[in-house]
């Protein structure tokens, strides 16, 4: 175990991680975002969903460091008297949850389709890749909007309200699978013709097992890179959908929802209601994207 | 050349058909257009009449054929939400979106390409590092947040530019333009910057990556070994080779501008097709969604075609018939 | 340390190229690697110097250093390079650029990738000539056609407007040769000019290079791992090992009576024309990596004649009577002297 750790610490990946201060900083920021979101019920100064603790008398308090600020509301409060910081922490939970789940969903769908297309080849391959090509022509936000719109039209409103979170995850996941499928298919095609896979076939190991045990490990690197870079994109897509008012249900406000709500008060001067959730979103996405960039460069030595 | 164009158009047809099929499926099977259009009080005879009028009693293929026939003539039926012809609604709003998209695309290309070339050539200069940092922030900033920040700074705090609408527009036939009035131009600035920012950073990163790739090639090293000057190597040999892939991807990204206009138009209450679309999504107004989808597909297919043609003009390997090649 | 002067076989008064103690370094994360260390040789006007060695011995690197196009982060860290007596290793970019193509031409390995696919071969010839020579468009075009004819492209007047992808590999290498020669440099650095070609075409290209070099009086540094090409083309030959010159001398002497134990092993394993040298007959082991070059003579762990001094002190090029070899066996002061047991001696 310690040998594995020592090897990990000596590896090129770790070396390139330590060498890049930007990467270290973004890892720290990402960690803060994730911890803040996960531990929101413990760490947040208020519970924004507990209506009993809300008082309209606390509404529109500016951030604590301004003259009219209130130390109880470090980043100010919104129109309902909710603490902006707490709302951000709870909102980040939703944003991260939707982001991670939709990327996982897209990864599973994409990897399975990519493996199938690459391994089976022929007409199935052409059909699947043609679909991926057509879908890739359109921006993911548009696909997600369409999927969301269709589901919205197909489901009664009360059902939609209940499963809204899953609809968003589904919509974003569906919009993102082709990138995974294409990469996995490419790697599968390369791996399929390598001698060890041919050898495995000759000694009679089943195709499914060959795919899982031989091909899959070889596509982990690129899939990880796409997933990391895709996570930033998924969080942005979720925030955009929520900002447009068609994302997560308003009973479970994400960062995008908070920004949309705060946007109404921009002109009356209560900028903190929208700007702080915005900054939190930027910090989260930027740190994830920087990590993804680093991972891509580290795993692709030619670019170094 | 003609054969090339025709083959590309033929390739585009299945894509359009596939999108049409999705639109039609949405149109025909999602929700219940009959009950939506009839409202609360109706007789069974009215219902049957409407089903017949809408052609819903015909076979799937007949319905699809009718749908395509109508779509080709620009007939997409009535909006559930506004009870007006969809084509009319879209035509009213198209100029606003197209003018916005044009400005954003021009901004993205005219600034993004030179920035990409610069950062590719002088990869270690402080300005390149600044550009790269900026581009990373640009890629990570959601479009709507850029809009909100710009509104906060330039509308709320500085009060220089309007935060919503198109300003005064001038009617040229059916086309309404904001280019001819000062307030129209002022109103275009913030939305264009918002919409163009993401594509700008993307194009910059793309051009930079391609430039680095090309600068590593043997023919660039050989061009240097022949003693060609930096200008000839960078802007003659390297840039031209960079353009081939950049045209492709940048073209597709410019198509993305039309789609991202949805977000920008919402932030700035810009009366374009995107705002219409998002209102339709919230109201489950399927006919508008279907028509918008078809229109977007048409725009993308057209852009693809133009991209292929440009590609063809830049790269001689595509231009010359295979018969002419070879021979020792 | 005694310094024996090189003796080029050329006709002119002084050498066209002098390389003295050239040292090229690559800073990496694990420290600075020395890719070339104390490389010295001369080339006389009109002379063909073959440079041979295994992959990674520094042959191509030497060529890149001479034309001033080392891949970053590689850099010349010591020594000097003189062209017609003028020092060029420390020139700024612009004066060096004017030397490239005009005074030193270059030929690269793979003709499929050395030509810009988006420009016609004529345009590439014309831009090269107009960069260095004062020619009108019409004159440049006429000369471009002339050069294509000279390198054996049929129907040159039509082919001048063709794109690279319309030529075969062998034809493209002819175009590359035309490009290298068109501004009439007095020195050509040819880096493995035939390696990427079909065996049947290799001989044609070598014959063409040899003929043009003779006709134009152009000196050539011919980098290759192919001893057959060297034997046929070169006047003298330098054998490189681990970033150093192991032996240098007239091609006949080096091939027939090698003096350095490494050259001896190399000659004993002359491979078929189309194969790269990977393992040397009669010599155990492989060339050391740049990060692990042994102390003293770089060849000492593999040398059949190694003695104490080889492990401590690095040998300079010493006179052996026919060639010069970096081997302590040829220092009269050494405790061990060259044995008469070399295969070809």
Tens digit of each residue's pLDDT (9 = 90 or more) over A212-270: 777 777 777 788 888 888 898 899 989 988 888 887 887 788 888 888 888 888 777 77
CA B308 to CA B252: how far, in whole Å?
11
User: Is A149 a member of any domain?
Assistant: yes
Which residues of A sit within 8 Å Cβ distance of B?
134, 137-139, 141-142, 145-146, 148-150, 152-154, 232, 236, 239-240, 243-246, 256, 259, 263, 266-267, 269, 271, 274-275, 278, 281-282, 285-286, 289-290, 293, 303
Residue C270 has what pLDDT? 63
User: Is A122 a member of any domain?
Assistant: yes
Contact A282/B278, CB-based, under 8 Å? no
Q: Which of B219, B226, B316 sits opposite C163 (nearest CB)?
A: B316
Whether the CB of B325 is below 8 Å from some CB of chain C: the reply is yes
Neighbours of chain A (3+ CB pairs under 8 A): B
Q: Which of A246, A267, A275 sits opposite B282 (nearest CB)?
A: A246
Q: Which of B227, B232, B236 sits opposite C100 (nearest CB)?
A: B227
With 0-12 CB in 10 A as exposed, 13-18 as middle and 19+ as buried, what is B249? middle
Q: ∠ CA B282-B283-B288 to the nearest 5 degrees?
A: 100
- For residue A10, what pLDDT band results from cuts at 50, 70 and 90? low
User: Is A17 a member of any domain?
Assistant: no
Q: What is the pLDDT averaged over residues C147-173?
A: 91
- Residue closest to B271 by CA, chosen among B184, B147, B199: B184
Residue C96 has what pLDDT? 92
- Domain of residue A282, residue span: 90-303
Q: What is the pLDDT averaged over residues B34-63?
A: 74
Q: ∠ CA A122-A125-A126 to the nearest 5 degrees?
A: 85
Predicted confidence (pLDDT) per residue in A107-156, tens digit: 999 999 988 888 777 888 888 888 887 787 777 788 888 888 778 777 77
Asked whether B24 and B280 are in contact (CB, 8 A), the reply is no
List of chain C residues whose C-beta atoms are within 8 Å of the C-beta of residue B324: 166
- For residue A204, what pLDDT band results from cuts at 50, 70 and 90? confident
Residue C133 has what pLDDT? 92
Residue in chain B closest to C115 (alpha carbons) equals: B219
- For residue C139, what pLDDT band results from cuts at 50, 70 and 90? very high
More confident residue, C257 or B248: C257
Residue in chain C closest to B316 (alpha carbons) equals: C118
Does the pLDDT of residue B88 top 90, yes or no?
Answer: no
Predicted confidence (pLDDT) per residue in C249-305, tens digit: 999 999 888 889 998 888 876 654 444 555 555 567 788 888 888 888 999 888 888
Mutation site for B-interface testing, chosen from A21, A133, A145 by largest number of B Cβ within 10 Å: A145
Residue in chain B closest to C178 (alpha carbons) equals: B226
Q: Which of A145, A154, A281 sits opposite B145 (nearest CB)?
A: A281
Distance from CA of A282 to the nearest CA of B (A): 6
List of chain B residues whose C-beta atoms are within 8 Å of the C-beta of residue A290: 136
List of chain A residues whose C-beta atoms are within 8 Å of the C-beta of residue B141: 282, 285
CA C250 to CA B51: how far, in whole Å?
98
Residue C273 has what pLDDT? 45
With 0-12 CB in 10 A as exposed, 13-18 as middle and 19+ as buried, what is A111? buried
Does the pLDDT of residue C5 top 50, yes or no?
Answer: no
Q: Number of residue pairs across A and B with CB atoms under 8 Å?
A: 112
User: Is A112 a member of any domain?
Assistant: yes
Q: Which of B230, B320, B328 sits opposite C170 (nearest CB)?
A: B328
Q: What is the pLDDT averaged over residues A79-102?
A: 86
Residue B297 has what pLDDT? 83
More confident residue, A125 or A199: A125
More confident residue, A21 or C160: C160
Contact C170/B314, CB-based, under 8 Å? no
Contact B241/C117, CB-based, under 8 Å? yes
Q: Which of C100, C163, C165 sits opposite B225 (nearest CB)?
A: C100
Residue A61 has what pLDDT? 73
Q: Cis omega before residue C73 (within 30°)? A: yes
Does the pLDDT of residue B187 top 60, yes or no?
Answer: yes
Residue B37 has what pLDDT? 66
User: Is A9 a member of any domain?
Assistant: no
Residue A81 has what pLDDT? 72
Contact B15/A232, CB-based, under 8 Å? no
User: Is A63 a member of any domain?
Assistant: no
Residue C282 has what pLDDT? 58
Whether the CB of B223 is below 8 Å from some CB of chain C: the reply is yes
What percent of chain C has a predicted confidence (pLDDT) above 70?
89
Report the range of poorest mean pLDDT among A148-157, C181-190, C227-236, C247-256: A148-157
Q: What is the pLDDT averaged over residues A70-98?
A: 81
Q: ∠ CA C3-C5-C6 to the nearest 5 degrees?
A: 130
Q: What is the pLDDT averaged over residues A275-292?
A: 88
Residue C281 has what pLDDT? 56
Contact B142/A274, CB-based, under 8 Å? no
Whether the CB of B81 is below 8 Å from some CB of chain C: the reply is no
Distance from CA of B310 to the nearest CA of C (A): 14
Mutation site for C-interface testing, chosen from B227, B242, B245 by largest number of C Cβ within 10 Å: B227
Does the pLDDT of residue A302 top 50, yes or no?
Answer: no
CA A250 to CA A257: how far, in whole Å?
7
Q: ∠ CA C168-C171-C172 to the nearest 5 degrees?
A: 85
List of chain B residues whose C-beta atoms are within 8 Å of the C-beta of residue C102: 227
Q: Which of B144, B163, B280 sits opposite A240 (nearest CB)?
A: B144
DSSP characters over C98-146:
HHBTTTEEEE-S-HHHHS-TTS-HHHHHHHHHHHHS---HHHHHHHHHH
Average pLDDT of every residue of chain A: 80
The torsion angle over the Cα atoms of residues B37, B40, B45 and B46, rounded to 10 degrees, is -30
Contact B232/C110, CB-based, under 8 Å? no
Contact B228/C131, CB-based, under 8 Å? yes
- For residue A179, what pLDDT band results from cuts at 50, 70 and 90? confident
Q: Which two tokens stand for residue C328?
A: 């302590």
Residue B236 has what pLDDT? 85
Residue C11 has what pLDDT? 47
Distance from CA of B28 to the nearest CA of A (A): 12
CA C89 to CA C80: how far, in whole Å?
6
3-class SS of residue A46: coil
What percent of chain A has a predicted confidence (pLDDT) above 90?
7
Per the structure, how many domains does chain A have?
Answer: 1
Report the range of poorest mean pLDDT among B2-6, B293-297, C232-236: B2-6
Neighbours of chain C (3+ CB pairs under 8 A): B
Which residues make Cβ contacts (< 8 Å) with residue C94, sequence separation at least 6? none
| Domains of chain B, start order | 89-283 (1.10.3720.10)
Does the pLDDT of residue C344 top 50, yes or no?
Answer: no
Query: At A289, which CATH number?
Result: 1.10.3720.10
Helix (H) or strand (E) holding C247: strand C244-250
Helix (H) or strand (E) holding A229: helix A216-243
With 0-12 CB in 10 A as exposed, 13-18 as middle and 19+ as buried, what is B71? buried
Residues in chain B, overall count:
328
Q: Which two tokens stand for residue B291?
A: 């028509």
Distance from CA of B300 to the nearest CA of C (A): 27
Contact B282/A245, CB-based, under 8 Å? yes
More confident residue, A140 or C39: C39
CA B43 and chain centroid, separation: 45
Q: Which of A149, A236, A271 sits opposite B142 (nearest CB)?
A: A236
Residue A8 has what pLDDT? 57
What percent of chain C has a predicted confidence (pLDDT) above 90?
44
Q: What is the pLDDT averaged over residues A184-202?
A: 77
Contact B281/A145, CB-based, under 8 Å? yes
Contact B262/A232, CB-based, under 8 Å? no
Predicted confidence (pLDDT) per residue in B115-126, tens digit: 999 998 888 889
Does the pLDDT of residue B232 top 80, yes or no?
Answer: yes
Contact B226/C97, CB-based, under 8 Å? no
The CB density around residue A220, as the number of other CB atoms within 10 Å, is 12
Residue C7 has what pLDDT? 52
CA B149 to CA B157: how far, in whole Å?
11
């Amino acid at each position: 175990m310690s040998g594995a750790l020592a090897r990990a610490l000596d590896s090129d990946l770790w070396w390139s991680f330590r060498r890049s201060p930007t990467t270290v900083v973004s890892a720290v920021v990402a960690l803060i975002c994730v911890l803040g979101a996960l531990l929101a019920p413990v760490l947040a100064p208020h519970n924004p969903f507990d209506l009993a603790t809300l008082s309209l008398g606390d509404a529109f308090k500016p951030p604590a460091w301004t003259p009219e600020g209130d130390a109880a509301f470090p980043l100010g409060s919104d129109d309902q008297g909710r603490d902006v910081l707490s709302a951000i922490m709870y909102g980040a939970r939703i944003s991260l949850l939707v982001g991670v789940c939709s990327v996982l969903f897209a990864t599973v769908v994409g990897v399975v389709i990519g493996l199938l297309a690459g391994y089976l080849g022929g007409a199935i391959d052409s059909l699947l890749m043609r679909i991926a090509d057509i879908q890739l022509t359109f921006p993911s936000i548009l696909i997600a909007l369409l999927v969301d719109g269709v589901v919205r039209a197909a489901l009664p409103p009360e059902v939609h309200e209940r499963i809204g979170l899953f609809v968003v995850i589904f919509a974003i996941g569906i919009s993102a699978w082709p990138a995974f499928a294409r990469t996995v298919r490419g790697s599968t095609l390369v791996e399929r013709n390598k001698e060890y896979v041919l050898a495995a076939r000759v000694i009679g190991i089943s195709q499914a097992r060959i795919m899982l045990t031989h091909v899959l490990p070889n596509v982990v690197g690129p899939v990880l890179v796409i997933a990391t870079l895709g996570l930033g994109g998924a969080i942005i897509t979720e925030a955009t959908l929520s900002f447009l008012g068609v994302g997560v249900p308003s009973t479970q406000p994400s960062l995008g929802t908070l920004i949309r709500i705060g946007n109404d008060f921009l002109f009356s001067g209560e900028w903190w209601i929208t700007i702080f959730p915005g900054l939190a979103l930027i910090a989260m996405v930027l740190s994830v994207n920087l990590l993804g960039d680093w991972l891509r460069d580290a795993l692709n030595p030619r670019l170094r | 050349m003609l054969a090339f164009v025709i083959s590309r158009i033929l390739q585009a047809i299945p894509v359009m058909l596939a999108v049409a099929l999705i639109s039609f499926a949405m149109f025909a099977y999602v929700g219940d257009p009959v009950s939506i259009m009839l409202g609360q009080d109706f007789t069974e005879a009215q219902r049957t009449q409407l089903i017949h009028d809408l052609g819903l009693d015909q076979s799937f293929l007949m319905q699809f054929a009718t749908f395509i026939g109508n779509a080709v003539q620009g007939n997409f039926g009535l909006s559930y939400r506004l009870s007006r012809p969809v084509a009319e609604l879209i035509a009213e709003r198209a100029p606003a979106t197209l003018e916005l998209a044009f400005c954003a695309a021009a901004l993205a290309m005219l600034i993004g390409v030179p920035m990409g070339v610069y950062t590719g050539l002088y990869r270690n200069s402080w300005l390149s590092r600044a550009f790269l940092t900026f581009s990373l922030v640009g890629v990570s900033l959601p479009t709507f947040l850029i809009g909100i920040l710009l509104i906060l700074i330039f509308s709320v705090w500085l009060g220089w530019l309007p935060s919503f609408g198109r300003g005064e527009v001038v009617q040229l036939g059916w086309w309404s333009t904001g280019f001819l009035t000062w307030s129209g131009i002022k109103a275009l600035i913030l939305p264009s910057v918002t919409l163009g920012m993401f594509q700008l950073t993307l194009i910059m990163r793309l051009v930079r990556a391609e430039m680095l790739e090309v600068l590593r090639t043997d023919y660039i090293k050989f061009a240097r070994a022949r003693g060609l000057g930096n200008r000839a190597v960078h802007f003659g040999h390297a840039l031209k080779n960079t353009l081939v892939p950049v045209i492709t991807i940048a073209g597709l990204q410019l198509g993305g501008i039309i789609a991202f206009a949805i977000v920008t138009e919402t932030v700035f209450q810009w009366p374009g097709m995107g705002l219409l679309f998002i209102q339709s999504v919230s109201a489950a107004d399927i006919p508008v969604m279907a028509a918008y989808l078809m229109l977007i597909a048409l725009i993308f297919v057209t852009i693809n075609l133009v991209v292929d043609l440009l590609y063809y003009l830049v790269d001689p390997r595509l231009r010359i018939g295979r018969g002419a090649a070879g021979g020792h | 340390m005694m310094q024996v002067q090189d003796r080029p076989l050329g006709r002119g008064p002084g050498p066209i190229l002098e390389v003295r103690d050239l040292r090229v370094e690559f800073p990496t994360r694990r420290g600075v690697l020395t890719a070339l260390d104390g490389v010295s040789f001369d080339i006389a006007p009109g002379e063909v110097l073959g440079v041979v060695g295994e992959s990674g011995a520094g042959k191509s690197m030497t060529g890149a250093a001479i034309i001033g196009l080392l891949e970053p982060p590689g850099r010349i860290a010591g020594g000097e390079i003189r062209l017609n007596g003028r020092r060029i290793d420390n020139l700024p970019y612009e004066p060096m650029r004017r030397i490239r193509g005009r005074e030193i031409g270059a030929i690269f390995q793979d003709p499929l990738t050395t030509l810009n696919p988006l420009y016609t071969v004529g345009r590439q010839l014309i831009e090269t000539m107009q960069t260095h020579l004062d020619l009108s468009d019409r004159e440049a075009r006429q000369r471009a056609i002339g050069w294509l004819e000279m390198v054996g492209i049929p129907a040159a007047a039509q082919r001048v407007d063709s794109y690279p992808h319309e030529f075969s590999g062998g034809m493209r290498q002819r175009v590359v040769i035309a490009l290298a020669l068109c501004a009439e440099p007095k020195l050509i650095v040819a880096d493995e000019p035939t390696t990427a070609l079909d065996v049947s075409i290799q001989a044609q290209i070598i014959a063409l290079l040899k003929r043009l070099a003779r006709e134009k009086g152009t000196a050539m540094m011919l980098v290759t791992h192919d001893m057959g090409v060297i034997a046929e083309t070169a006047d003298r030959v330098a054998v490189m090992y681990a970033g150093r010159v192991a032996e240098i001398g007239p091609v006949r002497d080096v091939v027939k009576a090698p003096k350095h134990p490494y050259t001896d092993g190399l000659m004993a394993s002359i491979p078929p024309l189309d194969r790269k040298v990977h393992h040397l007959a009669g010599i155990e082991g492989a060339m050391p990596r740049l990060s692990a070059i042994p102390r003293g003579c770089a060849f000492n762990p593999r040398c059949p004649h190694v003695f104490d001094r080889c492990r401590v002190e690095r040998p300079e090029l010493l006179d052996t009577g026919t060639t010069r070899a970096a081997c302590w066996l040829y220092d009269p002061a050494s405790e061990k002297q060259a044995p008469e047991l070399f295969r070809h001696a």
